[in-house]
Chain A
Amino acid sequence: MVENKQQWKAWLYLSPAILLLLVFTVWPIFNTLRMAFLNGYGNMAAMGGATFQFGIDNFLKVIEYKKFLDCLKTTAILCVATVPISTTLALLIAVALNSIKPLQKTLQTIFFLPYVTNSIAIGMVFATMFNIVGYNPAEGIADTWGIINNVIEFFGGQPISWINQGSTYTANIAVMIVYIVWNALPFKILILLGGLQSINKQYYDAAKVDGTPKARVLTRITIPLLSPMLAYVIITGFIGGFKEYSSIIGIFGEKMGPPDDAGRLNTMVGFVYDALEKDRQGLASAGALILFVIILLVTIFNNRVIKKHVHY
């Protein structure tokens, strides 16, 4: 009797969550799959009574689309460049933080600050720092080169057009890398520092007795014992990197590129949303599935590589 009552109650308590999950999580999985395999599916047309044939046209179209390959390239470059930089920097900062006593809490708070920001709002700040104001190409003189260029000039370099008209793809990517790394540091530092603080002090004492040099302690004790956290940070970093989108909007606006070349920095997620808004849901679904498969493959690959090096 009690058993039955519990059954009944459990389903009652779960009903709001299950109902919402069915509509907004389970149904989308099937429907997105369905749309991806219906050639040229568009919702408006479907509601108007159009029918679509089963096939893989959407996938072929996505892959043939030059824009998609550009998106894939930008996403991959950003991913491959930012994950190693931010992970290495975060590791160094975490190890340094872990080795000091005074100021540790204060510095830890400062390093966490970028996390509690709005990535679009602070992207606008970075854009201002790189922005050239009042530039006239004919005269070659600007009112303001932007603070980053001021610093470059101070050290004897030439100002660069980072995000303005006429800027190069490389310069645009450089700005994005700086911003993404700045944004990615806090989470990685938090996780790695947490890992460092849970390492048993005895290992270090033993190393001290043996007179092991510091660099060796880092490579032979700290990094191996920290490897599960490092693995976690790297994998989530890659997953996040493949979904990069709003940080680019923060810096370049919805044009996703410098004023004279809109869409230059579009990413895979951007591609999916563009197709979605243009009522080409079949194409969007195919793009999202390809993204999903890429993320899955990269994660499996990461796991393979990491498994060889991680000590649990």
Chain B
Amino acid sequence: MSTTTVMQERDIKQRTFIQNVFKALGKTGTYAFLLIMALIILFPFYWMIISSLKTLPEYRQAIPTFWPREIMWGNYSEAFKTANLGDLFMNTLYVGVVSTLVSLVITVLSAFAFARLEFKGKETLFGALLATMMIPGELFTITNYITVNQLNWMHTFTALIVPFLVSVFYIYLLRQNFMQIPNELYLAAKVDGTSDLKYLWKVMIPLALPTLISITILKMMGAWNSYIWPKLVANDPAHQMITNGLRNAFTDTTGQANYPVQMAAVAIVSAPLFLVFLFLRKYIMQGVSRSGIKG
């Protein structure tokens, strides 16, 4: 073996060693970056939970503690009472469930018509519907506020539910899903004398179930997070939604407020969302990546 090849071999070995070091450094750097970002993302949640468990004097200490010395579960029951969370929860649940159910029926029927039936002006109508999606919601809100007023729906659950029953986007989403189901199935069912509704119920709905679940979750999350519209039309105690109630119960920003109790209330309001996310992560992430809307 000549000396040059030996040197070349050593050279190559050394180079791969250096490359490996760089690679390892790169991996460590990547992980370090991700972990730091993850900690920043998680910090507010951590702070919410430990603050909610502190006593007020401990919370007000000049040097903060990173774990409560005395765990105050009482803050949670106090929060429940102060913000009247029980009633708010029931109101929100009622609005969420009713609007989701009715909305699903309307969406399924419309999506079926657009995906399976032939009628004059179908394409034009569908295009017109999609066009309305470009208009910002504030434009609708102004007139809807007047409409709700004139229909005498102010301070009713109806005002919270009816204006948002139809979502063009959900119709679009479900239509796309329905169109993937082969038309032959529908024709076969027709030959067998199956009615439309039975076919919808037995074939299309089971096949489109993931989309329907995504819609349900997004709709429920929408009710849970809605704030602006309820504030305009139904901000009375009997119909108040959970976000409005939470914000109204803790308006004092001067520093005299009982922050641990406030944080406990925030934690209670956030908990259901996390539970839903934990169990239905796949559907939420799928729905969100396709819709790009919050609630």
Contacts and interface: CB of A to CB of B under 8 A. Distances in A.
B90 interface: no
Given A20-B166, A32-B139, A191-B292, A126 B120 contact: no
Nearest to A5: B117
Interface string B185-211: 000000000001000000000000000
A239 B112 CA distance: 31
A295 B136 CA distance: 9
Most central of B33, B142, B168 by chain A CB within 10 Å: B142
For this complex, into which size category does the number of interface residues on chain B fall? 35 or more
A157 interface: no
A28 B142 contact: yes
Interface string A269-299: 1001100110001001100110110010000
A292 B266 CA distance: 33
Interface string B224-236: 1101100010000
B243 A29 contact: no
Contact of A116 (B118, B246, B251, B274): B274
Contacts of B138: 243, 269, 272-273, 288, 291
B147 A116 contact: no
Nearest to B247: A120
For this complex, into which size category does the number of interface residues on chain A fall? 35 or more
Contacts of A292: 135-136, 139
A276 B232 contact: yes
B230 to A, nearest CB: 12
B163 A118 contact: no
Contacts of A249: 227, 247
Nearest to A295: B136
Contacts of A109: 281
Nearest to A95: B30
Contact of A165 (B149, B165, B171, B254): B254
Interface stretch (B1-9, B37-45, B69-77, B176-184): B37-45
Given A110-B42, A128-B259, A187-B288, A100 B31 contact: yes
B269 A118 contact: yes
A54 interface: no
A111 B45 contact: no
A31 to B, nearest CB: 4
Contacts of B51: 128
A24 interface: yes
B129 A21 contact: yes
Interface in B125-156: 125, 129, 132, 135-136, 138-147, 149
Contact of A131 (B63, B109, B255): B255
A243 B142 CA distance: 15
B12 interface: no
B139 A29 contact: yes
A236 B166 contact: no
A118 B143 contact: no
Interface stretch (A6-14, A59-67, A71-79, A303-311): A6-14
B24 interface: no
B233 to A, nearest CB: 11
A306 to B, nearest CB: 16
B122 to A, nearest CB: 8
Contacts of B120: 7
B238 interface: no
Nearest to B200: A13
A116 B221 contact: yes
A239 B31 CA distance: 33
Given A96-B34, A118-B224, A259-B254, A111 B41 contact: yes
B60 A133 contact: yes
Contacts of B38: 107, 110-111
Given A120-B247, A121-B246, A147-B47, A96 B33 contact: yes
Contact of B143 (A17, A31, A246, A250): A31
A273 B139 contact: no
Which A-B residue pairs are the 10 nearest by beta carbons? A28-B143, A10-B119, A10-B117, A13-B109, A13-B113, A116-B277, A28-B140, A17-B110, A31-B143, A143-B60
Given A107-B38, A120-B225, 13 more contacts: A9-B113, A9-B117, A13-B113, A32-B139, A109-B281, A113-B45, A121-B243, A150-B63, A190-B288, A273-B141, A276-B232, A288-B139, A295-B136
10 contacts: A6-B118, A11-B119, A16-B110, A26-B132, A32-B140, A43-B149, A116-B277, A121-B269, A124-B247, A133-B60
